[in-house]
């Protein structure tokens, strides 16, 4: 499977007062790569499914917070 993380370079106008951002990233969910549910798709055990939030490993997408330093 392809990487779920995508990257692009945002437009920067000649009179933009903000400091330039070299690139931005976004996540493409794994369900965008599976067009139909194939038969005999592997499944997590019940405990793993509850831990990961999905029954099928092919649809698992880990969440990584972009918040730096934690914050309350």
Q: How many domains does the chain have?
A: 1
Residue 40 lies in a domain: yes
Q: What is the pLDDT of residue 1?
A: 46
Residue 19 lies in a domain: yes
Task: Please work out, in degrees rounded to the nearest 5, the angle formed at the alpha carbon of residue 58 by the alpha carbons of 53 and 60.
Answer: 30
Average pLDDT over all residues of the chain: 85
> How many CB atoms sit inside 10 A of residue 59's CB?
16
> What is the block-wise mean pLDDT of the chain (72 residues), using blocks of 10 residues?
82 89 89 85 94 91 72 52
Residue 68 lies in a domain: no
Question: What does the alpha-carbon distance between residue 9 and residue 26 come to, in Å, rounded to a whole number?
Answer: 12
Q: What is the pLDDT of residue 29?
A: 87
Q: What is the pLDDT of residue 46?
A: 95
DSSP of 4-55: SEEEEPPP--TT--SPP---EEEE--GGGT-SS--TT-----HHHHHHHT-S
Encode pLDDT of 35-46 as tens digits. Answer: 888 889 999 999
């Amino acid at each position: 499977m392809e990487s779920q993380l995508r990257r692009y370079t945002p437009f920067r106008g000649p009179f933009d007062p903000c400091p330039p951002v070299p690139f931005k990233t976004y996540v493409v969910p794994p369900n965008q790569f599976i067009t139909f549910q194939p038969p005999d798709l592997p499944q997590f055990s019940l405990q793993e499914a509850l831990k990961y939030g999905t029954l099928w490993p092919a649809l698992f997408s880990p969440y990584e917070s972009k918040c730096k330093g934690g914050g309350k």
